[in-house]
Structure 1
Amino acid sequence: MPKLGLIAGNGRFPFLLLEAARAHGLTVVVAAIKEETDPEIDARAAADAEIHVHWMSLGELSRLIEMFRQEGVTRATMAGQVKHKQIFSSIRPDWRLAKLLLNLRTRNTDMLLGAVAKVLADEGIELISSTEYLEPLLAKAGVLTRRAPDEEEQKDIAYGRTVARAIAGYDLGQTVVIAAQACVAVEAMEGTDATIERAGALFRTLDTEAGETTLRRSLTVVKVAKPNQDMRFDVPVVGVRTIEAMQRARATCLAVEAGRTLLFDPEAIVRAADAAGIAISAE
C-alpha cells in the first residue's frame, strides 16, 4: 500500500488530512510533534493498523528523516500549526537542524520551512501540498453565509486586503482586523484567533475610556495568503473557533481568499456564522 508521511502540528488539520489520505487508500506515517500534536492521534493509530505514529521533538530533523527512511516514505506533507514562538524560542535543534538554522539568511517561517523541505528533498522525500487531499475544503468564491457584507464592511474588506497582502509579503502574518477603514490589529506570532481577541479587547477599552467614538462599533477580519504562498505549508486556515473568537470580539464580517484558504468543516463554520450574524465572503 502506498505511504504518505504526515508531519503533524496542532489543531484538527492533521486529523482531516489523515482521514482524507486513508480514504485514498494510503498508509499514513505520522511524525507527531511532542510540543504540538494532539495525543488523540495515538487513539486513531490504535484503531487503524495503516496509521503509524512516531513521536519526536520539534528540533529532531535527523530523527524525522531516519524514521521516514525506515518506513519507506518518499512523499510527505505538513498539516497543523506549529506556533511561531515554538519555532523560534522552544526549539532544541539537533546537529542537522542547527546547521540549517545557521545558514538561513533570515529566520522567518517561510525561510525555515523552505530549508527543511530542501533537506527532505535531498534525502529523497518530496514535500507535497497539504491541500492535495483536501481540495473540497478550499473556500469557494462568493458569499458563503446568508448575510452578505454590507457597504461599510465591503470598504473594510477592500482596505484590509491591501494591508494584509503587504503584511503577508513580509511573512509577518496573514490576518488583519479593520474598523471604519482603520487597522485595529495585525497578526504576528500569536495567530489569527488571538489577533481577533486582541482587537476585541482594544475596542472594549475604547468603550470604557472614551464613551462615544467616531469608529464604527464592529470589526471586519481579513485573512489572505502570502503573495507567493507555498501551499506545502502555512496555508491560511479558518475553523469554527475563528467564528467563536469573532463573536466574542464583536466582529461582524470575515473575508478570505477563494481557492487559497482551507475551511475546516465548512458547514459548521457557516452555521456558526449565520447564528452569530457574521458575514463570510471569499474572493
Structure 2
Amino acid sequence: MSPSLGLIAGNGRFPFLLLDAARAHGLRVVVAAIKEETDPEMDARAAADPEHIRVHWLSLGELSKLIETFQREDVTRAVMAGQVKHKQIFSSIRPDWRLAKLLLNLRTRNTDMLLGAIARVLEDEGITLISSTAYLEPMLAPAGVLTQRAPDETERADIEYGLRVARGVAGFDLGQTVVVAAGACVAVEAMEGTDATIARAGALFRTLEDAGDTTLARRLTVVKVAKPNQDMRFDVPVVGVPTIAAMREAGATCLCIEAGRTLLFDREAMVTAADAAGVAVLGAAIVTKL
C-alpha cells in the first residue's frame, strides 16, 4: 500500500491542489472533509480514484473523530489546506469534549493559538502536522515584478508603508492584508478575509467620492504578508484570480505579496487577469528578523 497522507480540507481550491500534488508523489490521501467548509466536489475526486483517495466528512467541532479517523487509516503525517473562516470560532458549532477542553485552555482564540493547540493534540496522538506548502513549493511567489506593468513611484511608496503596517498587524495575528492609498491606511483585515477587506476599502472610497471628498486619489494598493513568525503548517497567505477580481471591483491598482511565503494559485491566469485590469503585482523579498 502507498504511504498515507492525511489532508484536513478547508474551503477553496487549495485542498484540491494539494491532493493532486500528493497523488503525483505516489501518496494515498485520506481526506478529513469539513462539512461547513469543504467543496462537495471532494466526493467526486474520491469516486474517480477510490484506491488512493478516501474521504471522511466531519464537523469542525469533531476533533476526536478526526483523530480516530486518521488512526484507523494509519495516517501519521497530515497537512491542513484551505481556509476555515475565522468567524466559525464564534459560530454555533458544538465542540466535542476534546475540542471544548482545548478551547477552555486557550488564552486567546486567534488562529495561531487555536491551530497550534490542535497541532499539539495531533502530535500527542502520533499524527505529525507538516507544512501546508509541502508538495507545492513551485507555487510560492517569486521576488520581483510578475506583471507587464511595474508599480509606479506612488504605488511603491504605498507598498513601503503598507509592508510596515501589514507586518505589525500580522504580528498580532489579526490579519495579513492592508489596503493603502496616498500614504494612508484605508482598511485592515480582521476576520472577514482578504477579498472582503479589499471590497470594504473600495466601498469606503465610493462613499467618499459620492460625498465629493477627493482628498485621497482612488488608487488603492493591497499589501499581503505572512506573519513575522509564520507557522507554515497553517494560515499561509494565498492569492489568485479572485484576489484580482476583488481588486478590479474595488478600484485597486497594485498588489504586493511576500515572496517565498505566499502561494499563487493559477499563477498564469492570475497574471493574465492582472494585466487585463492594469494591476501591477510585486513579490517583495522580506528579511525576517530572528
TM class, shorter-length: over 0.9
Instruction: Give the match for residue 81 of structure 1.
Output: 83
Matches within 5 A, 1:1-283: 1-49=2-50, 50-211=52-213, 213-283=214-284
Distance 1:90 1:280 in 2: 39
- The DSSP-based 3-state class of the residue aligned with 1:243 is helix
Distance 2:21 2:147 in 1: 26
Q: Which TM-score applies when normalising by structure 1?
A: 0.99
Instruction: Give the match for residue 288 of structure 2.
Output: none
CA offset digits 1:240-277 (Å, max 9, x no partner): 00000000000000000000000001111100000100
Taking only the aligned residue pairs, the percentage that are identical comes to 80
CA offset digits 1:2-26 (Å, max 9, x no partner): 0000000000000000000000000
CA shift, 1:143, in A, is 0.2
Give the residue type in structure 1 aligned to 2:27. L
- The DSSP-based 3-state class of the residue aligned with 2:151 is coil
User: Is 2:89–2:109's contact at 8 Å kept on the other side of the alignment?
Assistant: no
Greater CA deviation, 85-94 or 1-10? 85-94
Give the residue type in structure 2 aligned to 1:106. T
Distance 1:73 1:187 in 2: 35
Distance 1:2 1:272 in 2: 38
Distance 2:89 2:47 in 1: 29
Give the residue type in structure 1 aligned to 2:230. Q
CA shift, 1:214, in A, is 2.4
Distance 1:90 1:28 in 2: 30
CA shift, 1:89, in A, is 2.1
Give the residue type in structure 1 aligned to 2:160. A
Give the residue type in structure 2 aligned to 1:93. P
Distance 1:29 1:98 in 2: 25
CA shift, 1:106, in A, is 1.3
CA shift, 1:144, in A, is 0.3
Distance 1:51 1:90 in 2: 31
Give the residue type in structure 2 aligned to 1:224. V
Give the residue type in structure 2 aligned to 1:140. P
Structure 1: 5+ residue stretches without partners = none
- The DSSP-based 3-state class of the residue aligned with 2:268 is helix
User: Is 2:132–2:233's contact at 8 Å kept on the other side of the alignment?
Assistant: yes
User: Is 2:18–2:81's contact at 8 Å kept on the other side of the alignment?
Assistant: yes
Distance 2:101 2:257 in 1: 37
Structure 1 residue runs of 4 or more that deviate by more than 3 Å after TM superposition: none
- The DSSP-based 3-state class of the residue aligned with 1:149 is coil
Distance 1:48 1:275 in 2: 38
Greater CA deviation, 111-120 or 91-100? 91-100
CA offset digits 1:112-138 (Å, max 9, x no partner): 000000000000000000101100100
Distance 1:87 1:72 in 2: 29
User: Is 2:181–2:217's contact at 8 Å kept on the other side of the alignment?
Assistant: yes
Distance 1:119 1:143 in 2: 41
Distance 1:130 1:199 in 2: 29
Distance 1:59 1:67 in 2: 14
Q: Aligned pairs, how many?
A: 282
- The DSSP-based 3-state class of the residue aligned with 2:91 is helix
CA shift, 1:181, in A, is 0.7
Distance 2:21 2:94 in 1: 32
Distance 1:136 1:275 in 2: 24
